[in-house]
A and B are shown apart, each in its own frame.
Chain A
């Protein structure tokens, strides 16, 4: 009975959604057209290169135009780590050592992860350093770096993760982000203003003023946070081992 009610409800919702999307044509020349200066998207497309010196418009939006969102987003991840830690918190008993995986992985996987680990980390760092030139950026790069650590964590029984270093990286990256923002205020501009570092030439590595710096900070922070999340999750002890 409940099933039928829910399906009916969802059908109504779906009908309304379909109806609403009738107004919005797919692939229509609606926004973003260079002629229409008024919409936000068009403004970004027409002005980003000139005003921020960044090739990737999405990066410009994320880090500069809507940089405040990104600050919030980084905070959300930070809070997720903190919340996870608080929800899954348990006191360590004396002499209890961390054991993430119960079995050592195969010899081949170990060798393979040895070789792929630096590759994945380098790839992640490449992605967030080139966030303003190519697709990707802090979040993606950070996630990739965390995935690289994940590879080691699940392949090795005793891979040690420096918790201290993680905290340091995370905090320093966060502080860098906020401080760069505050620097704009101190110098008499606005929060996160992209004015005190030269913008460089388009499509070179050192371009875009504070944008790459912030994205690198975000990258390190996200990498540290996600690695922290994975570490917390992987070191849960199952209460009972059920087959």
Chain B
């Protein structure tokens, strides 16, 4: 099944790309959205690796709950990594 080879490599590249994005971005909100995306991709990967339970857990914990916890933290602290003023776009 060559298609899975392709899918796996695409997902792997996207996973690493969004991880790098999460680390490099100065705007923490982008980093948080990126962790959401990482959870999303990971969840698909778990699904293909025949682990539906884990995919479910990763989706349930990673996409919604982790995101809200991070977002609340950003709300209560600062949105920019270097704590400079940024316009809120």
- Residue A139 contacts which of B52, B57, B72, B85 (CB distance < 8 angstroms)? B57
Chain B positions within 8 Å of A59 at CB level: 53
CA distance A108 to B60 in the complex (A): 24
> In the bound complex, what is the Cα–Cα distance between A56 and B6 (angstroms)?
30
**Using Cβ atoms and an 8 Å threshold, which residues of chain B touch A56?**
53
A32–B85 Cα distance when bound, in Å, is 55
Q: Is B7 an interface residue (CB 8 A)?
A: no
Interface size (A, Cβ < 8 Å)? Answer: 25
Residues of chain B contacted by A146 (CB below 8 angstroms)? 65
A243 within 8 A of B: yes
Stretch at the interface among A156-164, A172-180, A234-242: A234-242
Q: CA separation between A135 and B55, bound complex, in Å?
A: 9
Q: How far is the CA of A127 from the CA of B61 in the complex (A)?
A: 14
CB distance from B88 to the nearest CB of A (A): 6
Q: For the complex, what is the distance from the CA of A37 to the CA of B69, rounded to whole Å?
A: 44
Complex Cα distance, B76 from A141, in Å, reads: 29
Instruction: Tell me, in angstroms, the Cα distance from A185 to B78 when the chains sit together.
Output: 52
Answer yes or no: A144 CB below 8 A from chain B CBs. yes
The verdict on A147 contacting chain B, using a C-beta distance below 8 Å, is yes
Smallest CB–CB gap between A230 and chain B, Å?
7
Complex Cα distance A230/B78, Å?
19
Residue of A with least CB distance to B72: A233
Instruction: Tally A-B pairs: CB < 8 A.
Output: 48
Q: Decide if B56 is an interface residue (CB 8 Å cutoff).
A: yes
A58 within 8 A of B: yes
Q: Is B64 in contact with A147, judged by CB distance below 8 angstroms?
A: yes
B55, B60, B75: which contacts A144 (Cβ < 8 A)? B60
A150 on the B face (CB < 8 A): yes
Of the residues A58, A127, A144, A234, contact of B72 by C-beta under 8 Å:
A234
Q: Is the CB of A140 within 8 A of B60?
A: yes
| Cross-chain contact B65 with A135 (CB below 8 angstroms) | no
Alpha-carbon distance between A147 and B61 when the two chains are bound, in angstroms: 9
Q: How far is the CA of A226 from the CA of B75 in the complex (A)?
A: 19
User: Is B14 an interface position by the 8 A CB rule?
Assistant: no
Asked if A136 is at the interface (CB within 8 A of a chain B CB), the reply is yes
Bound-complex Cα distance A239 to B65 (A): 23
- When distances are taken between beta carbons in the complex, the residues of chain B under 8 Å from A136 are 52-53, 56
Q: CB of A67 within 8 A of chain B?
A: no
Residues of chain A with a CB closer than 8 A to B76's CB:
236, 238-239
Instruction: Name which residue of chain B comes closest to A234, CB basis.
Output: B72
Q: Which residues of B contact A135 (CB under 8 A)?
A: 52-53, 55-56
Q: A143: CB under 8 A from chain B? A: yes
**Ordered nearest first, which 10 A-B pairs have the shortest CB separation?**
A135-B52, A143-B60, A140-B56, A233-B72, A147-B64, A135-B53, A58-B53, A140-B60, A136-B56, A238-B76
Contacts A58-B53, A150-B68 aside, 12 further interface pairs with beta carbons under 8 A come to: A135-B52, A135-B53, A136-B52, A140-B56, A143-B60, A143-B65, A226-B65, A230-B65, A234-B72, A239-B76, A242-B78, A243-B88
